[in-house]
Every structure is written in C-alpha cells, then in structure tokens.
Structure 1
Amino acid sequence: MNPSSTRRRALETWNTRDLLVAVLIPVVFGIILLPILLYTHALMMVIPPFVNALLTGLWVLAGIMVPYILRKPGSAFLGALLVGVIEGPFSPFGWIILLIQAVVGLFSEVPFALTRYRNFTLLFLCCAGAVGNLGPVAINYALYNSSRLAPAVQLISIIAHLLGGLLGGLFARLVADALARTGVLRGYAIGREQIEEV
C-alpha cells in the first residue's frame, strides 16, 4: 500500500464533528493564552528565562488535548497550528508564532504517530507534551543562535522546556477528562472511558 493512499484513508476518517472539536479547542486556548503571551513578553526582561521556558508548556495544550480526544493522525499538528493562527495577528512576536506552533505541532505529532494513536495514558501524554515543547527549543537554535549561550544555560533551558511540556501534557489530560465527564464528548473514546470509570 502506498503512502499517499494511506494518508488519504486517514483523512477520510475525519467527520464534521471531528473538525469542529479540532478547531474549537485551539480557538479557546488561543484566546485564553493570548493575555499570558502578552504579559510574559512585557516582563521578559524581569521573568527568569527558566520560568519563561516553563511557561512555554502552555502552548502544547491544544497539540496534546486534540489528539487525546480525536485519536486521529494529524490532530496534534492541527491543534497546535491553529493556536498560532489565532494568536498570530495579536502576538508581539508577529507571525513567527505560527511557525513556532507548527513546529510544536510536528514535534507533538511524533509520539502519537509512533504508537499509531493507541497510547493515551497519563505518562504518555506528559511525555508527548515534553517532546512537543522541544519545538520552541529547535526554533531557538535555528533562528536565535541559542548555541552561542553557555552550555549550562542551554541545558537549563532544555530541561525547563521539557518540564514545561510535561506539565502541559498533564494539564491537557486533566482538562480533557473534566470535559469528558460533562458528557459532551460521549461520542468519542475518551467519553466512553469516563462513563466506564463511573
């Protein structure tokens, strides 16, 4: 079976409700996170870089929550990318935020793809968040010459990004589970799992 037919079949499994979920969650997170983005940018010179790196974990939320709910190929990338689309016009970084979110989405997609969208344990989602949050690290190295920083600073930054992403994965899981308990996601595996647990 060739890769193009596999991709086509994967896209055909998406329905209108899936697309609505995949768009709605990033829109909500994009709106909620925009004030945080503006606030942290305004205080960038005051906030220690370690704290700033930890906060980047918030931007993996949609890239983890959307695939946790939909369990479909491309959902992590789409979730993360749409946050960038929402924030782009208002971001102090301009449209570079779209590039950052695209890379976060690609990095987030990898763990899900490696497990064929079948592993959704808390530990896995935390690890997927950590991997996704290596996206900003890659951007920093590619565009902002992070390699010129002292090795200790680079290591602290990478650890902080991993920890921030891990917390982002945890928070995405908690929010999605809370949403599933309301019954609005009963048509998805996550909704059925919550019913079975009750």
Structure 2
Amino acid sequence: MLANWKLKEIVLMSILGVVFALVYLLFFFFGQVIRNILTPFGLAAFGYEIIFGIWFIVSIIAAYIIRKPGAAFTSEVIAGVVQVLVGSPAGPALILTAAVQGAGAELPFALTKWRDYRLRILVLAGVSAAFFSFFWHLYSSGNIILAPWLIIATFVVRLISGALLAGVLGKWLSDQLAKTGVVRGYALGKEKQEQREDRAA
C-alpha cells in the first residue's frame, strides 16, 4: 500500500496519526462531560454521537493533504494504535475500531480512484466512516439493545457529525495549514500553489 509513497509522506501521515491520537483521547473525556450533562434528560446516548465525527478527522486530513491510496485508512489505524499505547480506556479493541473507521473513510476516495478531493468527497468520506463505525458499534458495544427510535436518532446524529466534524472541519483545517506553507511539498500544497498562479496569470 505504501510502496509508491515518498518518505516525507509516510512521516507526515505518522505525525498526523500521533497528534490526532492525543486529540482523540482529549475528546473521549470531553464526550464524558457532554454525556454527564445529557444524562438527567435521558439523552446520555447522544453524548458521544454529537462529537463522533472528530474521531474520523485524521483520515480526512491525511487523505486530503497526501492524496495517496491508503492515507485515510493507515492514518486512522496509526491513531488507534497510539491511543492504545498511551493508555486509552477502550483498550486494544480500539485498533479494530480504528480500522473499521479508516476503511469507511477510505471507501469514497477509492471509488473515485483517489482522484477527487473536493469538499463533497471529503464529506462523503466522513459520512462513510460514520456509517460503518455505527454498525460496528451497534454490536461490539451492545448498542443494539437500545430502543429502535434511539438507534435511528443516534445514527442520524453520527452521520451529521461525520459530515461536519470530519469532512467540513477536516478540509478547513487542512486548508488553513496549507496557507502557512507547511504542506507545500505535498499534493494539497501543490494544488494551492497552482491555484495562486492561475489567479495571478
């Protein structure tokens, strides 16, 4: 999968995986706070769903910046492994969860043969990661026992979260990073440079 990658691309993907592993851990505790707030209203199940898209964001960012097959999947798995190594409460099973999420995010890019990185594809990648992860958690976390209306409602919320927090926010963060020039040697940076040259012509 990484045979045609440049070393700098592998390094960047690894760095992103590590950084967002720490972000994911912080959001785990943030989700606990939201869950505790919603519990008195009988809405505890939505505590994590509201922010669930954040757990796919590294796959969107890595794919958008690097634009190589496997970027979404591998970056998400790296983040999962790092979380486990630093002591995630979820334990080793988190690596499998990360693989499911990464595969879901990778699918839309694969369907375009890794040629289309417009916003709609990034949003679709976030939605796809949310879709596959939801059904994975439905059984692995025992959520299947929830009331049907609650399953449907949390499913819709996770899809929206995936679209906004992974797709839209992931693109925005990447574009902001590109403005700094940090990723000028990568696919996204080169695209932005070409756009600037076209506007200047």
Residue 27 of structure 2 is matched in structure 1 by: 36
User: 1:68 is paired with a residue of what secondary structure?
Assistant: helix
Out of 60, 64, 69, the residue aligned to residue 64 of structure 1 is 60
Deviates more, 1:47-56 or 1:18-27: 47-56
Looking at structure 2, the residues matched to 83 and 135 of structure 1 have their Cα atoms a distance apart, in angstroms, of 18
* Contact 2:34 2:48 (8 Å CA) reproduced: no
Deviates more, 1:40-49 or 1:125-134: 40-49
Letter in 1 for 2:148: P
Looking at structure 2, the residues matched to 19 and 142 of structure 1 have their Cα atoms a distance apart, in angstroms, of 33
Trace 1:65-84 onto structure 2 (pairs within 5 A).
65-84=61-80
Question: Which digits, 9 at most, give the CA deviation of each residue in 1:28-49, with x for residues without a partner?
Answer: 1111231221332366444432
Shift of 1:93: 1.6
Q: Which runs of 5+ in 1 are unaligned?
A: 1-9
Q: When the two structures are superposed, what TM-score results if normalisation uses the length of structure 2?
A: 0.86
Shift of 1:152: 1.1
Looking at structure 1, the residues matched to 62 and 104 of structure 2 have their Cα atoms a distance apart, in angstroms, of 14
Shift of 1:187: 1.9
* Contact 1:85 1:98 (8 Å CA) reproduced: yes
Residue 18 of structure 1 is matched in structure 2 by: 9
Looking at structure 2, the residues matched to 65 and 183 of structure 1 have their Cα atoms a distance apart, in angstroms, of 16
User: 1:11 is paired with a residue of what secondary structure?
Assistant: coil
Out of 180, 188, 193, the residue aligned to residue 195 of structure 1 is 193
Q: Which runs of 5+ in 2 are unaligned?
A: 39-43, 197-201
Percent of residue pairs identical: 31
* Contact 1:57 1:161 (8 Å CA) reproduced: yes
Out of 161, 166, 169, the residue aligned to residue 163 of structure 2 is 166
The RMSD of aligned alpha carbons is 1.7
Out of 53, 56, 72, the residue aligned to residue 49 of structure 2 is 53
Number of residue-to-residue matches in the alignment: 189
Residue 41 of structure 2 is matched in structure 1 by: none
Residue 136 of structure 1 is matched in structure 2 by: 133
Trace 1:81-96 onto structure 2 (pairs within 5 A).
81-88=77-84, 89-96=86-93
Shift of 1:21: 1.0
Question: Which digits, 9 at most, give the CA deviation of each residue in 1:113-145, with x for residues without a partner?
Answer: 111111111111011111112233122223133
Trace 1:113-192 onto structure 2 (pairs within 5 A).
113-167=110-164, 168-192=166-190
Residue 109 of structure 1 is matched in structure 2 by: 106
Q: When the two structures are superposed, what TM-score results if normalisation uses the length of structure 1?
A: 0.87
* Contact 1:23 1:82 (8 Å CA) reproduced: yes
* Contact 2:52 2:158 (8 Å CA) reproduced: yes
* Contact 1:37 1:91 (8 Å CA) reproduced: no
User: 1:18 is paired with a residue of what secondary structure?
Assistant: helix
Question: Which digits, 9 at most, give the CA deviation of each residue in 1:149-186, with x for residues without a partner?
Answer: 22211111110110111011111101111111111212
Looking at structure 1, the residues matched to 159 and 114 of structure 2 have their Cα atoms a distance apart, in angstroms, of 21
Deviates more, 1:95-104 or 1:75-84: 95-104
Letter in 1 for 2:65: I
Looking at structure 2, the residues matched to 61 and 34 of structure 1 have their Cα atoms a distance apart, in angstroms, of 13
